[in-house]
Amino acid sequence: WRDAPQGKEFDRVLEMVRLIAAGMTNQEIAERLYITVGTVKSHLNHIFSKLNARHRAEAIASARKLNLL
């Protein structure tokens, strides 16, 4: 996990990883977190980068390896 986030940022990252692991779409995540779809996409790209993942499935697998899920 490169440049691991701290505090509230980590909590938000973990929440988003859990939501994508639950199979939620970007629209569903946006509605759940009261943010725009564009913001969801931006956060997910940031998360993918930190987990060295190219897509959701890789991010979920990486999160599981790191015991984040």
CB count, 10 Å around CB of 40? 23
Provide the 8-state DSSP code for 25. Answer: -
pTM (two decimals): 0.81
In angstroms, the CA 6 to CA 31 distance is: 24
What integer pLDDT is reported at residue 6 of this predicted model?
62
Of 28, 13, 7, nearest to 62 by C-alpha is 13
Please report the pLDDT score of residue 13 as a whole number: 80
Query: Residue 19: helix, strand or coil by DSSP?
Result: helix
pLDDT tens by residue, 4-42: 556 677 788 889 999 999 999 999 999 999 999 999 999
Where do we find the tokens 């959701």? 56
